[in-house]
Amino acid sequence: MSTKMSRFVAVAAASLAIGLGAAYAAQPDGQGGPGGWHHHGHFLQELNQLHSQLKLNPDQEKQWQTALDTMKQNREAGRAAHKQLHDQIKALQQQPILDLNALHDLHEKAEEQRHQAREQTAAAWLAFYNGLNDQQKTIVSTALKQ
């Protein structure tokens, strides 16, 4: 299994375990998120399939949409931040002497932004999950275990 695929599997398992994809938005790799576009489409298919099985009431549907929108927005913001970081690093590399303090600061800022995005997305999915009844939680649990 490739490192990229291993990372995808680890991220997917962890994210689904805390609420259906919380980490999905968090670590863009410039190729459409962990695993690239192929896995992006597969992930969304699985989410859509789960969504149809849950038979959500209007309040739950609103929480689902909020979580999904939060996840998508954080993913897009993460991709933009990744590109910006890449551009900033390239600019620093143009200097005759690398400023390791600046590189470290860029890295720390990027890590903080990714962490905030993960937490925001996880909070949205957990709010959705906490609004489900026991039967719906069983459906989610079964999907996560698979």
Phi, psi of 125 (to 5 degrees): -70, -40
Q: How do residues 11-45 score in pLDDT, each as one tens digit?
A: 444 454 444 444 344 444 434 444 444 456 787 88
Token readout for 138 is: 């069983």
Domain ranges of the chain: 3-145
Q: How do residues 77-102 score in pLDDT, each as one tens digit?
A: 999 999 999 999 999 999 999 999 99
Question: Is pTM beyond 0.85 here?
Answer: no
By three-state DSSP, how is residue 84 classified? helix
